[in-house]
Amino acid sequence: MDEMRATLKDAWPYQKDKMKLPVEDLETAIPFYETVMGFRVVSRSDAPFKSATIERNDMQLGLAENGGDPTQDGCFFEVDDVEKAFAELKTNGFDKENPDFDYQKYGETKWKVFFVVAPDGLCFCYGERQN
- Provide the residue ranges of all domains of the chain, joining segments of one domain with +: 8-130
Is residue 121 predicted with pLDDT exceeding 80?
A: yes
Q: Would you state the pLDDT for residue 106?
A: 86
CA 35 to chain centre: 12
Question: How far apart, in whole angstroms, are the C-alpha atoms of residue 22 and residue 4?
Answer: 29
Topology given in CATH for the domain delimited by 8-130: 2,3-Dihydroxybiphenyl 1,2-Dioxygenase; domain 1 (3.10.180)
Question: How far apart, in whole angstroms, are the C-alpha atoms of residue 121 and residue 60?
Answer: 19
Strands 40-45 and 109-117: unpaired
Q: What are the tens digits of pLDDT across the range 35-93?
A: 999 999 999 999 999 999 999 999 999 999 999 999 999 999 999 999 999 999 999 99
Question: How far apart, in whole angstroms, are the C-alpha atoms of residue 108 and residue 47?
Answer: 41
Q: Would you state the pLDDT for residue 4?
A: 77
Is residue 1 predicted with pLDDT exceeding 50?
A: no
Q: Would you state the pLDDT for residue 79?
A: 96
Strands 59-64 and 21-22: parallel
Q: Which helix (H) or strand (E) holds 55?
A: strand 51-56
Average pLDDT over residues 103-117: 95
Averaged pLDDT of the chain = 95
Tell whether the torsion through CA atoms of 98, 115, 6 and 27 is positive or negative. negative
The confidence band for 3, taking pLDDT boundaries of 50, 70 and 90, is low
Q: Would you state the pLDDT for residue 11?
A: 94
For residue 111, which of 71, 82, 91, 72 has the smallest C-alpha distance?
82
